[in-house]
Amino acid sequence: MKVEKRIVIMSDSHGQFGPLQKIMEMQPDASMYIHLGDSEGGVSMLRKKYPEKEFFCLRGNCDHNSELPDSLVIPVDSGHRIFAAHGHKHAVGFSRDMILEEAEANNCNIVLFGHTHERLCSYDNGVYVINPGSCSCPRDGLAPSFAFIDVIGKDLFVNSVSL
């Protein structure tokens, strides 16, 4: 089985460029990189350093005066679509209901969010739900982290990785 596409997901770097650089060094051949917010300028540095890479970036609750979008719908292939948001506007700290409803309304079967600084990888009712945790300041007692999705045929494989 050959990985057709790798999607790297990171969140909540809070102005620390070091963890973002480490993720890029660990995953240099990914097809796409998604930062789910609270980057506070770190992603613009990544874009300058890696202009050939495909980055999608969102605004988090700490990205003041940012013109980044609050959410994105990202087509992966003919069978998968991502709904990505930082999560603070969807109250993900209390429930995943709002973000799942918006994903369903956008015909997405993959939901990505950050904000809580806590890792989550689940598959519920045909929907992949992924929070990569924080790559700089986790709140779940685990090491800083990121996640990735491997697309192999029609299948998805999700992994959480400690930095």
pTM summary value: 0.96
Query: Each residue's pLDDT tens digit in the chain (163 positions)?
Result: 789 999 999 999 998 999 999 999 999 999 999 999 998 778 888 889 999 999 999 999 998 888 899 999 999 988 899 999 999 999 999 999 999 999 999 999 999 999 999 999 999 889 999 999 999 999 999 999 999 999 998 899 999 999 9
Amino acid at position 122, single letter: S
User: Residue ranges of the domains in the chain?
Assistant: 5-162
Short-list 8, 6, 30, CA closest to 19: 8
Percent helix, strand, coil in the chain, to 5, is 20, 35, 45
The CATH class for the domain spanning 5-162 reads alpha beta
Q: Which amino acid is at 44?
A: S
